[in-house]
A and B are shown apart, each in its own frame.
Chain A
Amino acid sequence: MAILDLQATEDLPCVLFDNDKGIFEISKRSLPENAILFYEPLIEYVNEYLRSPKEETNVVFHFDYISTSSTKQIMKMILLFDQLKQNKKVNLNWNYDKGDVDMLQTGKRLEQLTSMKFIFNEV
């Protein structure tokens, strides 16, 4: 599968998914008009990756703002990585801006719904 590389816009995130390297990064703002439609191909990409995953997978989320409808879709994606973690190494980084307490707490909440330990980075 080709690299999935989306430039950020005023309300859509920057996406870099590279199944060859096992890297999955989403950053900036996620405020799509329709979160389900926007995340569908991303989740499909991850599903595809799970068929022949790398030994180590690196996931990085770093949101400025995320709408609750996007949070739902991100959770759906995280649960896929949570499955993968049963037999491969997965590092899930939840990055947030210095002082962005809301974003840290959102990450902490999502972490509770998985069997993973998120790596929290204040950057």
Chain B
Amino acid sequence: MQITNSGKYSSIAELFRVLNHYQLNYAYNGDFTNDLTERILALAETNMDVESESLKIKKKVYFIIVESLQNITRHQGSSKDARLMDGFFSIHKFLGGYLVGSGNAIENNHIKPLSEKLDKVNSMSADELKDYQKEVLSAGGFSEKGGAGLGLIEMVRKSGNKLQYDFDKIDDKNSYFYFQSKITDAQPHENSEIEKHNHEIVKSVHKAVTENNLKIFFQGQFKHENVRSLLSMAEGSIYLTEKFEFKKTSVAIMIELLQNISYHAAGINSSDERPGLFMVADNNNVCSLITGNYIENFKIDALIKKIDFVNSLDDAAIEKLYLETIMLDHNEVKQGAGLGFIDIRIKSKNKIEVEMVPYTDDKTFIIIKANISY
């Protein structure tokens, strides 16, 4: 597959296809607070539990995530320029392991010492790393900015792979620093896209994410416990917490969209799977909450009809439909019974958008987008 990073994509489906190519599981672009990093960790942990990862891999990945998030929060700038201010974090899951990426702005005069530090730990054998770690520890270690490379040494040792990095010049003073660490199990899978693309993965994904104004990306299972962690993570983003009314509306809509996937999405390999997609994007004061999931083809007509109908109604008519729907058979096994889309339409005050991507003969990937102007 030919992948070009051509700036802004015309459809969510196209953007998703590109990010999928990098086997992106999670990404966050923006301001990182300690509260948010805790929520990201909780989400990663639940997600690995849901995916039934081995304890060994889980512990390693968890450690690498903690270190990567710390690197972002420690070096995060305080500028009005989003390119300097925003940190970036991503998790990629591929056959045989994980890749954890991070990005943050650094001053150009830090490039040389940082590169030297990274090259040094990368050049060492396992035994040399062990000795070096002892040496740094006994020397009291914490010389500059709390780091002294101990974290980097541990990252190489725990992941079993060299640390990959890159710099992108922003201006005369600053550059963006890309950093990625790969955690692999015993057998390397040479066919993995992650193996082929190697060092520029985080950089490519960061470009696609920023050029398409994505704040949050999550792809995985939408079981109830995962939805809970995902919601908590999204709520912890500064993007939402700064504006109370906007936050209330966004979270309420997110709840409906995410529950929708956990109730109705079709599985791919088994019927109790709930694979899906969740994204938050922001374009000129319009926040888009986007979900994607598989659906059986025979259900599409009814769903599209429902959404078209909800979209076609004026304010008075949609209020009337809300009241009628809520009084409809309360004990229906299907939980929402259509109230969800009505609620989304009322709260977002915008039409619900739909994109469809054919998947197999009997299933389609359906993308739902709710837009909130603020």
Contacts and interface: CB of A to CB of B under 8 A. Distances in A.
Interface in B324-374: 326-327, 330-331, 333, 335-337, 339-340, 342-343, 346-347
B245 A99 contact: yes
Interface string A1-32: 00000000011000000000000000000010
Contacts of B337: 72
Contact of A73 (B255, B330, B343, B346): B330
Contact of B245 (A72, A76, A101, A113): A101
A83 to B, nearest CB: 15
B68 interface: no
Contacts of A71: 326, 339
Interface residues of B, number: 31
A56 interface: no
B135 interface: no
B331 A109 contact: no
A42 B251 CA distance: 26
Interface string A28-42: 000101111000000
Contacts of A113: 323, 326-327
Interface in A72-91: 72-73, 75-76
A61 interface: no
A57 B322 CA distance: 28
A80 to B, nearest CB: 11
A72 B327 CA distance: 8
Nearest to A103: B248
A97 B249 CA distance: 13
A11 B228 contact: yes
B298 interface: no
Range, interface on chain A = 20 to 34
A52 interface: no
Interface in B16-53: none
Contacts of B347: 102
B252 to A, nearest CB: 6
A71 B343 CA distance: 11
A26 to B, nearest CB: 17
10 contacts: A35-B335, A65-B255, A67-B255, A67-B256, A67-B259, A69-B259, A69-B335, A76-B330, A112-B323, A113-B323
Interface of A: 10-11, 31, 33-36, 65, 67-69, 71-73, 75-76, 97, 99-103, 105, 109-110, 112-113
Interface of B: 224, 228, 231-232, 244-245, 248-249, 251-252, 255-256, 259, 262, 319, 322-323, 326-327, 330-331, 333, 335-337, 339-340, 342-343, 346-347
